[in-house]
Structure 1
Amino acid sequence: MTHILIVDDDEAIRQTLKVYFQQHGFKVSSAGTAEEGAALAFASNIDAIVSDIRLPGKDGLWLLREIKQRRPQCPVIMITAFHDLEMTVVAMQAGATDYVPKPIDLDELDAAVKRAVPRKSDADGAALVLGPQVASCSKIVGQSFAMKEVFKSIALVAQSRVTVMILGESGTGKELVARAVHDASDERQSPYIAVNCAALVESLLESELFGHERGAFTGAVSAHKGKIEQAGEGTLFLDEIAELSPAMQGKLLRILEEREYSPVGSTQIMKSKARFVAATNAKLEDRVASGGFREDLYYRLNVAVIHLPPLRERRNDIPLLVEFLLKKANRDLQKSIRRVSSEAMTCLQAYSWPGNVRQLENVLLKAVVMEQGDTLTTEHLLPEINCHSRGVVEPPQGTSREAFVSLRILERDYIVRVLNTTRWHKGKACQILGISRPRLERKIREFDLTAADDREKD
């Protein structure tokens, strides 16, 4: 029987997790402090550990490092209420197997435990034991499962000099991820250089990347150091990599394979020690199939891949993003927007966001400029985003004239109705809705719901 250890200073959480995992066929031990957890882990045949990061006295990261020093094969899953990239990077680089945010989704935690336990018997017996390092990139915001996977990928790929490919739609934040990889690496003190491959014609891009000698072409009145040389042992980020011409693709391939290049107008062979991070919103496989992108370069770039989800696939992150972006807008525009109405948040979460986070930021900036009070309302949202201004959706011809609304609005209204009926007794609301307490808590945050009398009951 698989034996897991739960470490959390909240007794209610310990008991809940203990009962849950016992019902699913696990043997479970529990501890309220990191020191007690370490003692149990070293005295018993523990197969996996689930530990909170925030603990009284020594924290969960101390416990994680102790386990990795003395029992490196034992998987450790960290749980915490602090959903940021920095904490994820610290936990993953210290050797955590996985990372689950609070409020805990039992299905997600159960899946994490099941993924982790087999790893202790992997054939090579290898364990990820890395030194603690922190990425200082607070601009990446998210607590959804998809973004948690992005945070973990950043933490892991940053620990080697492997080439990284970042894929995602326009506006999803690919350059932020590239910067985060650099900031989480051992070379974070070295330069980070970004180049937009679509912004320059081929001749200028070649000079920009490789540099040129004096007189190499008309207007080259002096020698120029290229971005590759400027990056040194740091990171060179190549955005919109799919837009490279065939000739430039060949020259980039040579750098990736041989680590060699020559400035324009020079026969000197120069070496590059930079890490290359590329990004694109194009489907490179289709470009390769059509002959527009070299297959050998594709495989050279496609080593470590980070997929950035579109905003419509992580709607739960929108309240966090709105909070972050509004604080930025207040600073930049000298405004004082303090809150967002529940109606406005519902509309923001219901929209599909084809321009992703970049579009969300632009929408909020326009609304903040027009808003005179301290609350962002639907009044100043663009018509296509303001679901209330759009009004009732007309049904197809020949069907009932009954008003149509989105499933999202129906879900929100029904949850509000149940909560108000139970006078915000969350236990009773969960029974009526047929969902778990953590899921109800997530829905309350997702829809920005508050009790009318500011009283919530368990």
Structure 2
Amino acid sequence: MSECILIVDDDQAICRTLELHFKQSGFRVALAHTAEQGLQKAAHVDPAIIILDIRMPGRSGLETIAEIKQIANSARVIMITAHHDMDSTISAMKEGADEYIHKPIDLDELDEAIDRALNYRQAENKEVFSSNNCEPGQPCSIMVGSSKAMQKVFKMIGRLASTSANVLITGESGTGKELVAKAIHSSGPTSDGPFVAVNCAALVDTLLESEMFGHKKGSFSGAVQDQTGKFGLADGGTLFLDEVGELSLTIQAKLLRVLQEQEYFQLGGSKPMKSTARVIAATNVDLAQAVQEKNFREDLFYRLQVVNIHLPPMRERMSDLLPLAETLLKRINRNMERRVTHLTDAATNILMGHQWPGNVRELENALTKAVALCPGDVIMPEHLSLQSNNNPSVGSSEQRPLTELSLKDIEKEHVARILASTRWHKGKACEVLGVSRPRLQRLIVQHDLENPYGQ
């Protein structure tokens, strides 16, 4: 007998479309339009796959995952939603969803998700997710991204929620590595414990050793009293080691001992101290290359990188820029007690034309300065201390001169700029580009352009 797919969605048109598609692929299909109906159907049809809408009238998909998985305990759950927010993604993955797909649904993407889910089911490779949530107002809440790269990061955070594995976060300076660390901590099993951060590049060796491990009174000049180190302060919680690639080989050896034995010695101390702190490290340097150059211990590298999360630079996820700018503006307005709510098209073009070498941190600084300089509620080009690049390669990881770009590259970047400047109003974009709507849609698909507004 063929596998059964249960679709739970209040949108009957989507249900009919998916039913026809899956029946043509040889699946049995059951439909439900509310969470209650879905629970009843799950008890009778033994689904292999459950496609569950995250927001429905009455009980939501998020509120239903746990119960529906109890009823159909071998089924794999794929969440679908029209909303692109990090908290929902993380919550869905933590509650036990196997995939999280956005509307409008790409059938190829959905088919790939179902193939993966069936393979997982057959291998009985079940994942366990925690039920903790990121607390409202925590820094993780300003992480924004509907791009595939950022959705991958959000899913990884959700999958890490029930574990205490060490994590290495890599990425350029300013990409938000500490925000990811705080999101992992807030979602994890020790979220009630402390989150303690250490900037490994900020202190010289002697001070860093005292800062990390603590010291006993009289252990060095100026040590007038005992001091608990960061490992002690982070016991039962998370220790975040930022710029871990800057540690000296001496400190690396002592850090390795803590990770291996969960014990350390304070400066001037003779009694081993215990710490159960989870270690999350971050770096903007290539540690694998540092290992080859003998600047970083190989054994420490593998201890830190149990799981690796890579944060893409801003220029590689430009589809996230405008939603991120809107989110940052809300926070900046709250902090500065302002109500700057709009950007002119010209200001938007400048943001989209910039390569953002400082990444999200640079964007936040630019918007903060703009809000400070803006006399009204609209940011104009003169309020932005940025120069729009003449290089049209927005969103490209390669900052090449115009003469080195192919015609396809130039077409992609020009279409992306026009869509950004019209805030993805396709009618206006067609007028500017001088193309029909079907032609514009083909260009969007051809160049894999993503709508940051989810429309």
| TM-score of the superposed pair, with normalisation by structure 2 | 0.86
- Deviation readout 1:109-128 (Å, 9 max, x if unpaired): 33222221211110xx2422
Indicate yes or no: 2:328 matched with 1:330.
no
- Deviation readout 1:145-186 (Å, 9 max, x if unpaired): 211111111122231121111111110100011111111112
Deviation at 1:314, TM superposition (A): 1.4
Percent identity, aligned pairs only, is 44
- Structure 1 residues 372, 387: closer, same or farther in 2, change over 3 A? farther
Indicate yes or no: 2:186 matched with 1:187.
no
Indicate yes or no: 2:410 matched with 1:409.
no
Supply the distance in 2 between the matched residues of 1:172 and 1:34 (Cα, whole angstroms): 38
- Structure 1 residues 382, 107: closer, same or farther in 2, change over 3 A? farther
Supply the distance in 1 between the matched residues of 2:146 and 2:31 (Cα, whole angstroms): 26
- Paired AA for residue 208 in structure 2: L
- Structure 1 residues 422, 20: closer, same or farther in 2, change over 3 A? farther
Alignment of 1:108-127 (within 5 A): 108-122=109-123, 125-127=124-126
Task: State whether residues 77 and 100 of structure 1, in contact with CA within 8 Å, keep that contact through their aligned partners in structure 2.
Answer: yes
Alignment of 1:198-217 (within 5 A): 198-217=201-220
- Structure 1 residues 242, 422: closer, same or farther in 2, change over 3 A? closer
Structure 2 partner of 1:16: 17
For the residue of structure 2 that corresponds to 1:166, the secondary structure is strand
- Deviation readout 1:231-251 (Å, 9 max, x if unpaired): 111101000111110010000
Task: State whether residues 65 and 96 of structure 2, in contact with CA within 8 Å, keep that contact through their aligned partners in structure 1.
Answer: yes
- Paired AA for residue 409 in structure 1: H
For the residue of structure 2 that corresponds to 1:82, the secondary structure is coil
Supply the distance in 2 between the matched residues of 1:92 and 1:395 (Cα, whole angstroms): 42
Task: State whether residues 5 and 41 of structure 1, in contact with CA within 8 Å, keep that contact through their aligned partners in structure 2.
Answer: yes
Alignment of 1:139-158 (within 5 A): 139-158=142-161
Task: State whether residues 8 and 52 of structure 1, in contact with CA within 8 Å, keep that contact through their aligned partners in structure 2.
Answer: yes
For the residue of structure 1 that corresponds to 2:30, the secondary structure is strand
For the residue of structure 2 that corresponds to 1:138, the secondary structure is helix
Supply the distance in 1 between the matched residues of 2:348 and 2:103 (Cα, whole angstroms): 22
Structure 2 partner of 1:238: 241
Supply the distance in 2 between the matched residues of 1:153 and 1:394 (Cα, whole angstroms): 36
Indicate yes or no: 2:199 matched with 1:160.
no
Indicate yes or no: 2:422 matched with 1:419.
no
Supply the distance in 2 between the matched residues of 1:365 and 1:158 (Cα, whole angstroms): 33
Task: State whether residues 103 and 441 of structure 1, in contact with CA within 8 Å, keep that contact through their aligned partners in structure 2.
Answer: no
Structure 1 partner of 2:395: none
- Structure 1 residues 387, 345: closer, same or farther in 2, change over 3 A? farther
Task: State whether residues 213 and 223 of structure 1, in contact with CA within 8 Å, keep that contact through their aligned partners in structure 2.
Answer: yes
Structure 1 partner of 2:297: 294
Deviation at 1:67, TM superposition (A): 2.6
- Deviation readout 1:349-407 (Å, 9 max, x if unpaired): 2322111100111111222222223222333333423769xxxx99769xxxxxx9774
Gaps of 5+ in 1: 398-403, 449-458
Structure 2 partner of 1:433: 441
* 71-80 or 340-349: bigger deviation: 340-349
- Structure 1 residues 93, 230: closer, same or farther in 2, change over 3 A? same
Supply the distance in 2 between the matched residues of 1:444 and 1:197 (Cα, whole angstroms): 35
- Paired AA for residue 231 in structure 2: I
Task: State whether residues 157 and 164 of structure 1, in contact with CA within 8 Å, keep that contact through their aligned partners in structure 2.
Answer: no
For the residue of structure 2 that corresponds to 1:445, the secondary structure is coil
Supply the distance in 2 between the matched residues of 1:278 and 1:169 (Cα, whole angstroms): 14
Supply the distance in 2 between the matched residues of 1:417 and 1:374 (Cα, whole angstroms): 22
Alignment of 1:249-328 (within 5 A): 249-328=252-331
Q: Pick from 340, 344, 349 the counterpart of residue 343 of structure 2.
A: 340
Output the aligned Cα RMSD.
3.1
* 18-27 or 334-343: bigger deviation: 18-27
Deviation at 1:209, TM superposition (A): 0.6
- Structure 1 residues 367, 258: closer, same or farther in 2, change over 3 A? same
Supply the distance in 2 between the matched residues of 1:127 and 1:395 (Cα, whole angstroms): 49
Deviation at 1:43, TM superposition (A): 1.5
- Structure 1 residues 44, 377: closer, same or farther in 2, change over 3 A? same
How many residues align? The count is 432
- Structure 1 residues 46, 430: closer, same or farther in 2, change over 3 A? farther
Supply the distance in 2 between the matched residues of 1:229 and 1:75 (Cα, whole angstroms): 41
Q: Pick from 370, 375, 380 the counterpart of residue 367 of structure 1.
A: 370
Q: Pick from 218, 225, 230 the counterpart of residue 228 of structure 2.
A: 225
Supply the distance in 1 between the matched residues of 2:149 and 2:39 (Cα, whole angstroms): 31
- Structure 1 residues 108, 75: closer, same or farther in 2, change over 3 A? same
Supply the distance in 1 between the matched residues of 2:81 and 2:343 (Cα, whole angstroms): 26
- Paired AA for residue 133 in structure 2: V
Gaps of 5+ in 2: 392-399
- Structure 1 residues 396, 114: closer, same or farther in 2, change over 3 A? closer
Deviation at 1:218, TM superposition (A): 0.5
